Structure formats: structure tokens, C-alpha cells
Amino acid sequence: MKKLLIIASCIWISGVHAQLAAPSQVNTTPEDKMNIIKTNITGYAFRNINVSYERSINRWFAVNVGFGTVAEGKVPFMNAFLSEENEKDFQNLKIKATNFTIEPRFYIGEGYGKGFYFAPYYRYSKVSTNTFDYTYDYTAFGTTIPIPLKGLGDASGNSGGLMVGAQFFLNKQHSFILDFWIAGAHYGSGKGNFSLTSNIILTPEMQKELKNEIENLDIPFVDYTVETNANGAKIKLDGPWAGFRSGFSLGYRF
């Protein structure tokens, strides 16, 4: 009987010890992997080659730094903000872009790079064009004369925003991650200079018509002024700079 009591006591003590030890044995997010390098795979659909690095400072706070470059190509969704007639004037227009983002992250899930997060961020962006052809029709005495011009320019902007996302681990070792940018938006200001140059000396009347035509493009969300001279036109951008972010990133945690 005494032997049975001793055995029962040992079993009970072992059970209590196991229960006490269990919380410490639960495999939460390991703290020895504080770095993540990743790329937004959604961006490649828009020629955006990108990479970002995230460093966990503590369980709830991390800093993510990203860089992206958009290879030269056609302007996406140009028909969304230009009429079909105006779009024809920019048939060979191409752009390239770069961006740099600093993004503190505040995790509300498990932490150390896992769970839902809020991320206020700063972004610098720059966009430049190729040398493109632009033609406007000058009308005089009932006759329309096409005037060819060469265009070139760039613009840059600084903006701040907020993104909401969630990051998940894809394997038991917590080495591979999926970062879901649920939604993000930023707003700031931008400046830019574009020029249109003609091989034909433009008369004051030609300059006036060219100025009116450029101003009547009515590009949404862009504030710009136009100055014309005998050689063509100069367009200055100075106004709001906004953008949106969403997508999926895959990365490696180490």
C-alpha cells in the first residue's frame, strides 16, 4: 500500500511539474532571429524590382527599410487620366522610377515579426521620362499644321503615410515569411520640371495655342504651370504627391 502511495505521489508530482513547465515549452516566436530580408512579389507585375530589410528591436517594435526601382516602360493606366485623343499624343512616352521607404512597425500579434501591425512611414519617390515625341496641331487660316516637339523631364516627392498589414511564418523553423500589405496610403508634396522642345521657331500665336493645349490636358491630382517660348514649353510641377500600397512579400528570417 505504501509503495502504491509513493508511486501515485511521484506520478502526481511529475504531472504538476509537466503542467508548470508546459508554458515555457510552448514554441512562441524565437528571439534569435531578429532580421528579415524580403521582396514584394506583387510589384513585379508593375516592373517594380524591390527589396526590403526588417530588424526587430524588441517584441513589439521593428524597423523596415525598403528600396525599389521601376524599369523603364509604358505609363500604367495612362488611359485612366487622359482622354483617348490626348493619349495618342504620348504614344512613345516611357517612365522609370525609384523609391525609398523607412517604416517603423508596431506589432499587436505575437511580435518579433509576426502578427498584425501598424506602420507609419516616410517615402521618397522619383519619376523620370525618356525623350518622347509630342505633337500638337496648330490651326491657322483654316489649315491644321502638326508641330512636333521632343519632351523630357523628371519629378520627385516626399510623403508620409500609414499602412496596416499582417506577417506570417510559413514553416516550423520560422525562417520563411509572408508579409501581407493589407492597405497603405501616403500623401505629401512633389516638384518637377518637364520641357517640350521644337525644331521650329514658334510664333507668339503658336506659343499661345501650345500653352492652352497643355493646360487643357487636365491631368487629375497634378498641379502644374506652363510657360512657352519660341523654342517650346516648360512645365513646372508643384503640388500634392500621393500613392497607395498593397501586396504580398516573401522573405527569409535569420
Report how far residue 77's alpha carbon sits from residue 75's, in angstroms, rounded to the nearest whole number: 7
Question: Domain for residue 17, yes or no?
Answer: no
Q: Is residue 21 part of a domain?
A: no
> Does the residue 178 lie in any domain?
yes
Q: In the prediction, which pLDDT does 30 show?
A: 59
Return the CATH number at 239: 2.40.160
Within a domain: 12: no
Which residue range forms the structural domain that includes residue 131? Answer: 30-253
Residue 5 domain-assigned (yes or no): no
Tell me if 209 sits within 8 A of 226, measured CB to CB. Answer: no
Q: Is residue 9 part of a domain?
A: no
Residue 245 forms part of a structural domain: yes
Into how many domains does the chain fold? 1
207 domain residue, yes or no:
yes
pTM of the complete model: 0.81
Please write the tens of the pLDDT for every residue from 27-50.
455 567 999 999 999 999 999 999
Give 90-122 pLDDT, tens digit per residue: 778 999 999 999 999 999 988 999 999 999 999
